[in-house]
Copies of this chain bind each other. A is one copy, B any other.
Amino acid sequence: MRPIYAPNPSCELCSSDGGELVWQNDNLRVIMVDDPHFAGFVRVVWQAHVSEMTDLQPAQRSQLMQTVCLVETVMRQVLQPTKINLASLGNMTPHLHWHVIPRFANDINFPTPIWALTKEQAAQTARPCVSPEQRDALVTALRIALWA
């Protein structure tokens, strides 16, 4: 029997969307991350407060990864990034969520992972590789693909 996961009042992903909500269903939601260096950054968040992929049932894991891959597909179509970076980390917020990050050869710290951004780099003026118009086009394309 599936355990019931109560919202954790101290968890920011239980108490808020965590970004601009693009789409959601009962199990998961897709949000835009507000990051000046990585304007096309998307997160796929499991609605219930669980920590790890293997806390989900296999069919739930599959549903989550299918959504991650749909986001990746749309992101590649709209933004044509050099590389997609996928990650489920959650060391500070242990509420299952996937980072889907479009990387570009001229982004602020390619080819290192975005988490290797130094303080000096982070202090630079934002150098977004995704324009506001491209970001809006991504949101629109995601809404169309996810609501389908």
Do B89 and A88 touch (CB < 8 A)? no
Number of interface residues of A (CB under 8 A): 33
Do A72 and B91 touch (CB < 8 A)? no
CB contacts (< 8 Å) of A87 on chain B: these are 85-89, 113
Tell me the complex Cα distance, A61–B64, Å: 12
Do B54 and A72 touch (CB < 8 A)? yes
CB contacts (< 8 Å) of A73 on chain B: these are 54
CB contacts (< 8 Å) of A69 on chain B: these are 53-54, 58, 61
Tell me the complex Cα distance, A88–B92, Å: 19
| A111 within 8 A of partner (CB) | yes
**Pick the contact of A113 from B72, B84, B113 — CB < 8 Å?**
B113
CB contacts (< 8 Å) of A37 on chain B: these are none
| A52 within 8 A of partner (CB) | yes
CB contacts (< 8 Å) of A115 on chain B: these are 112-113, 115-116
